[in-house]
Structure 1
Amino acid sequence: MAAELDTPVLDNHMHLDPRHGRGMDAVEEFVRLGGTHLLVVNKPSWHLGVEADDPADFRAVFEETLGAVTDATELLPGRAWPVLGVHPGLISRLVDERGFDPDAARELMAGGIEVASEYVADGRALALKSGRPHYDVTEAVWEASNAVTRTAFERAAEVGCAVQLHTEASEDLTDLAALAESVGLDRGRVVKHYAAGRLEGPVPSVMSEKDRLERAADTGAPFLMETDFVDDPEKPGMVLGPKTVPRRVRWLLEEGYDDAVRRAHVETPAAAYGIDTEATLTE
């Protein structure tokens, strides 16, 4: 079905893995359904075969992501942007499987954030990715994870970008919003990936399921839409497939949520990331 939509359509959190997964086939599917813009987040480093011992080791992950973004932009009516950082789940891999203590894991991961911020500073990446585990961990690991997140907020404030957060499921993350503001980063530039429809603190990037999107639309507050497509051939369609955001935009418009669509795909991307999804459709 042709899917002309009179609006930009941004998936705020998608992974692309041309080496192992569907790669550009997923982008083409997104475009066929009406998608125009992507924020492409690097996969967890170990999923790309990188077992980091030094912050510089993350560069291989970031460079691979940049390559996927370049290829995706050639296919999109708009463009793609990279979001780079260190997945918070890495701390468990380091501590539980590789013998790091929490402080050493924190130092390595914070160093990876520093490297990612260099890509933002020189204009090759749009935003940073950080956060804390979404599962139970020891107090030492929790504190180390929050310290890594603080580093991400500090670097984002310095280079002038947003931070996408991977965290526990919650509708109240005011502690992280306050932490960001304490180091000079506006909470409007803190984005909670995999959010439900309501959230206190950061900007919610809402998983594109109808019930979550209705809640977000009805709040009147800023929000984004995402799939968290993981592009893993062993997990096809996980979490949501690349068709989902354009399909849900069409559904929202049919339900009369025109203002919410504009918030999610034009106004909030501009406020959180400084990107213009309308102008980039005509470049």
Structure 2
Amino acid sequence: MTEETPILDNHLHLDPDHHRGIDAVRDFAHVGGTHLLVVNKPSWHLGVEAETGEDFRAVFERTIEVVEEASSELEGRAWPVLGIHPGLISRLVDDRGFSPDDARDLMQAGIDVAAEYVDAGEALALKSGRPHYEVDDAVWAASNAVMRRAFERASDLECAVQLHAEGSEEMTEVTAWAEDVGLPAHKVVKHYAGGRLEGPIPSVICDKDELETAAERGEPFLMETDYIDDPDRPGAVLGPKTVPRRVAWLLENGHEDAVRNAHIETPALVYGIDTEATLERP
């Protein structure tokens, strides 16, 4: 059945300039992967130390370029997810001397620029979130304000937001914030999630136990590797072949409904994409 079903990795990064880039896409495709959501790498990883929102354009446009290359290697296609990594706030405040409010304003301006690409049809969704590590109250408040800006822009655009945030099984407060500005809870995705999460749609990291939990729970979910394509951290997170291999494992264990859920139904629900119609088998 892996030859018949679309296989989507909901969250990975590609670095065509410093590491594997398109070779990682070929690895994914070689073992049956068909669709990718490629999230821009943190801006400072690409040498961008932003002073204004406009400075993030170089990051976004390079991501769009590599996504176009990735699509040419896939039997399905790839889409860009663009935004501001929430860890930037610590880099701005701790390393560059920004106040939390000034860091908030810069990051919100970056979200606004990312939203322009979604509005133009050049990106599928936005990326935001808040630190997954302990920060002081002012940085936490500023980070939440950035995330809320992403919800506002996504509501205007009727697109999804992928969140990088703390580990949790309960984030209903966050989806309530989204709903307060008109963004439905199913348009909020928690990246690097476990198999059980209340509030956002979980994008489940491809640990077998977590996938089994998600499969048995029966609620909408996605699958991801969070492949980071970083030459300094070659073993970090999971490799690009993992999602197709986990799909095969799920099918071998009788979870056909869960595979359809994660790779056809939930992508349609969250992003409005049709992974079957965009699939061209030879």
- 2:46 alignment counterpart: 48
Cα displacement string for residues 74-103 of structure 1 (whole angstroms, at most 9, x for unaligned residues): 000000000000000000000000000000
Picking from 126, 134, 137, the partner of 1:136 is 134
Picking from 80, 83, 93, the partner of 1:82 is 80
Cα displacement string for residues 125-168 of structure 1 (whole angstroms, at most 9, x for unaligned residues): 00000000000000000000000000000000001100000000
Picking from 118, 121, 137, the partner of 1:123 is 121
- 2:28 alignment counterpart: 30
Cα displacement string for residues 155-198 of structure 1 (whole angstroms, at most 9, x for unaligned residues): 00001100000000000011110000000000000000000010
- 1:262 alignment counterpart: 260
* Displacement after TM superposition at 1:21 (Å): 1.1
* Displacement after TM superposition at 1:238 (Å): 2.0
Q: Letter of the 2:103 partner, please give it.
A: A
Q: Letter of the 1:105 partner, please give it.
A: A
- 1:103 alignment counterpart: 101
Cα displacement string for residues 217-264 of structure 1 (whole angstroms, at most 9, x for unaligned residues): 010100000000000111114210000000000000000000000000
Task: Give the Cα separation in 2 of the matches to 1:228 and 1:186.
Answer: 24
TM-score, L = length of structure 1: 0.98
- 2:16 alignment counterpart: 18
- 1:152 alignment counterpart: 150
Task: Give the Cα separation in 2 of the matches to 1:54 and 1:257.
Answer: 47
Q: Letter of the 1:129 partner, please give it.
A: K
* Displacement after TM superposition at 1:282 (Å): 3.4
Task: Give the Cα separation in 1 of the matches to 2:207 and 2:3.
Answer: 19
| % identical aligned pairs | 69
Q: Letter of the 2:114 partner, please give it.
A: A
Q: Structure 1 164/53 Cα, relative in aligned 2: closer, same or farther at 3 Å?
A: same
Q: Structure 1 191/233 Cα, relative in aligned 2: closer, same or farther at 3 Å?
A: same
Task: Give the Cα separation in 2 of the matches to 1:104 and 1:261.
Answer: 44
Q: Is the 8 A contact 1:228 1:238 kept in 2?
A: no
Task: Give the Cα separation in 2 of the matches to 1:31 and 1:111.
Answer: 36
Are positions 1:174 and 2:172 aligned together? yes
2:233 partner SS: coil
TM-score, L = length of structure 2: 0.98
Task: Give the Cα separation in 2 of the matches to 1:175 and 1:151.
Answer: 15
Runs of 5+ unmatched residues, structure 2: none
1:143 partner SS: helix
- 1:39 alignment counterpart: 37
- 1:196 alignment counterpart: 194
- 1:280 alignment counterpart: 278
Q: Letter of the 2:131 partner, please give it.
A: P
Q: Letter of the 2:7 partner, please give it.
A: V
Q: Mapping of 1:180-219 within 5 angstroms?
A: 180-219=178-217
Cα displacement string for residues 34-87 of structure 1 (whole angstroms, at most 9, x for unaligned residues): 000000000000000000000000000000100110000000000000000000
* Displacement after TM superposition at 1:5 (Å): 2.4
Runs of 5+ unmatched residues, structure 1: none
Task: Give the Cα separation in 2 of the matches to 1:43 and 1:115.
Answer: 16
Q: Letter of the 2:133 partner, please give it.
A: Y
- 2:242 alignment counterpart: 244
Task: Give the Cα separation in 2 of the matches to 1:183 and 1:209.
Answer: 34
- 2:223 alignment counterpart: 225
